[in-house]
Amino acid sequence: MNTRIQLDLDGQHVAIFDKYSVRSAFQPIISVAHQRIVGYEGLARVQDKAGQAIAPFQLFDSAQDIESLVTIDRVCRELHLQNFARANLRPRWIFINVHPLVAMHGHQFGPFFAQILERLPIEGWQVVVEIVEAELSCDAELTDAIALYRSLGCLVALDDFGVGGSQFTRLWRIEADIVKLDRSLIVEAEHSHRAQRTLPSLVAMIHEAGSLVLQEGIETPQQLAIALNSGVDLLQGFGLGRPALLNQVESFDREFLSQGLTMTSLEVDLADHNLHRQMQSVTERFEDMLVAIERNVPLAIAAQALLSMHLVARVFVLDGDGCQQAETVHGAFAPSSLQNRFRPLAHAEGASWAKRPYFRRAMIEPGMVQISRPYLSVAGGNLCRTLSYCRAHAPHHGIKVVCCDINWSDF
């Protein structure tokens, strides 16, 4: 395959193939915290001999064999790097894609990437290599590909995470620097309250795995708000900036981002205010119940005022080993496990909740009311959070941890 890279009249490098020409377009990547461009993704813009735009995949599909595919992929990467180097945009990142087959087999055709970095005024840390891990079937090949780029000082990003064959075990093993969440996740969250509610947990898990999170495909204000509320670090999408020549993408739609940040802040402030007010009322009645229990008032009677609240589902008591001492007392607004898919789990007397965070936190800090993160309740099949309280200065035997489940499905 005959290929060459040449300078065009506008000062940009252009790759010339037998039947196609390719230019670099760069899409800005925005840091939420810094509210500025911190990198660009290099994207191929392909034209045929007649000057008609065609989809990039058609260029790659034109490859007759793996050698031709490697050539196309390498030329496109070199093109993006040359244009990026010419723009002298330190200390920003340049994100470049590697075709999955090239990531697996490119080393068979001799060194390439190290030579490019040696020749261009670009350091390894500026380059973020995007790999679609879902399309790599062999863990060994994936590991080898990542090791190569890391040996050159490059960062590694897992692209399109969350669709297809994405594997969470790979997320833990690879230790990617950046994980790019596929656009389908934010689109789904835009229409599904359940997806929107769980997206922050996915982001938190990726953070705990040691990676930054980039949400790609941001196009609407609602998608931006969902991404911001989910706690992602980086943003990319048409709503912020479309791919263009580097000299045309030095700016992005700051008003779009600013409005999203403002709206999100107002929504969070309002939600936090309403939630704080409701939780304060629940906590006050929970503490009144604790006082009554200390006076040996039976749990069902002591909890009457608390259980009349719409937010409250149920109360129960554990001993010092985390075992439930009696049956759960349900409130008027408790989703009943007797009517849901978890009926075999309905009767909880004698069950051990010793591994639950609400029990552990109560035992670690006796005398203080604790509140858990949201989780699925087996008692009602609904999302809930649990208030818990352990008596201070009590002997280990017979310690009582009093718990109250809060309905959380509407938050």
Question: Is the Cβ–Cβ distance between 253 and 241 less than 8 Å?
Answer: yes
- Note whether residue 41 is domain-resident: yes
Residue tagged 């719409």 (tokens): 310
- For the stretch 217-225, contacts whose Cβ atoms lie closer than 8 Å and that sit 24 or more positions apart, written own/partner, are 217/182, 217/183, 217/184, 217/186, 217/187, 218/186, 220/190, 221/256, 221/259, 221/260, 221/263, 222/190, 223/186, 223/187, 223/189, 223/190, 224/256, 224/257, 224/260, 224/264, 225/260, 225/263, 225/264, 225/267
Compute the residue count for the chain.
411
- Is 43 a domain residue? yes
Please choose, from the candidates 118, 170, 182, the residue with its C-alpha nearest in 3D space to the C-alpha of residue 145.
170
Instruction: Report the pLDDT value the prediction gives residue 32, as an integer from 0 to 100.
Output: 92
Residue 261: its H or E element: helix 254-294
Q: Give the number of other CB atoms < 10 A from CB of residue 52.
A: 8
Does residue 261 form part of some domain? no
Backbone angles phi and psi of 133, in degrees to 5: -65, -25
104 falls within a domain = yes
The answer to whether residues 119 and 227 belong to one domain is: yes
Q: Give backbone dihedrals phi and psi of 5, rounded to 5 degrees, phi first.
A: -115, 130
Find the DSSP H helices in 156-253. 168-174, 183-191, 193-208, 221-230
Same domain for 100 and 221?
yes
Angle, helices 221-230/183-191, rounded to nearest 10 degrees: 100
| Residues 202 and 60 reside in one and the same domain | yes
CB-based contacts of 111-114 (< 8 A; 24+ apart in sequence): 112/74, 113/77, 113/148, 113/149, 113/152, 113/154, 114/152
Q: What is the pLDDT of residue 76?
A: 94
Q: Are residues 244 and 315 both part of a single domain? A: no
239 plus 290 within the same structural domain: no
**CA distances to 311, 319, 322, 346, 360 from 349, in Å:** 23, 11, 11, 9, 19
Whether 265 is covered by a domain: the verdict is no
| 327 plus 285 within the same structural domain | yes
Give the separation between CA 238 and CA 302, rounded to whole angstroms: 56
CA angle 105, 106, 109 (to 5 degrees): 110
383 lies in the same domain as 353: yes
The tokens of 123 are what?
A: 């350091």
Q: What's residue 274's pLDDT?
A: 64
| Number of compact structural domains in the chain | 2
Longest dimension (CA), the chain: 89
Q: What is the predicted pLDDT for the residue at 409?
A: 76
Are 110 and 168 members of one domain? Answer: yes
| Residue-level pLDDT at 338 | 47
**Residue showing tokens 């007397």:** 349
- Determine the Cα–Cα distance for residues 405 and 411; give it in Å rounded to an integer: 14
User: Does the residue 267 lie in any domain?
Assistant: no
Let me know whether 105 and 145 are in one domain.
yes
Mean pLDDT, each 10-residue run in order, the chain (411 residues): 84 90 94 92 93 91 88 94 89 91 75 90 94 68 81 92 74 87 94 88 90 95 91 95 78 84 58 69 94 92 95 94 92 70 82 94 93 85 90 64 89 66
**Distance, CA of 404 to CA of 379 (rounded, Å):** 12
What range does the domain containing 281 cover? 274-407
What is the rounded CA–CA span in Å between residue 255 and residue 238?
14
| pLDDT of the residue at 138 | 62
Residue 344 lies in a domain: yes
Give residue 237's pLDDT: 96
* 194 and 115 together in one domain: yes
pLDDT of residue 172: 79
Q: Report residue 260 as tokens.
A: 């999203």
CATH number at residue 175: 3.20.20.450
Contact criterion met (CB below 8 Å) for 287 and 306: no
**CATH code at 291?**
3.30.450.20
User: How confident is the model at residue 124, as a pLDDT?
Assistant: 93
Among 252, 283, 306, the domain boundary falls at 252
- Asked if residue 257 is part of any domain, the answer here is no
**Could you tell me if 199 and 228 are in contact, meaning their C-beta atoms sit under 8 angstroms apart?**
no
> Do 227 and 370 share a domain, yes or no?
no
Give the H or E element holding residue 278.
helix 254-294
Residues 314 and 400 in one domain: yes
- In the structure encoding, which two tokens stand for residue 167, read together? 């594997």
- The torsion angles phi and psi of 115, rounded to 5 degrees, stand at -65, -40
Contact predicate 1/17, CB 8 Å: yes
Task: Give the pLDDT score at 314.
Answer: 94
Nearest to 321 by CA among 280, 284, 350: 350
Question: What distance in Å separates the CA atoms of residue 238 and residue 62, rounded to the nearest whole number?
Answer: 28
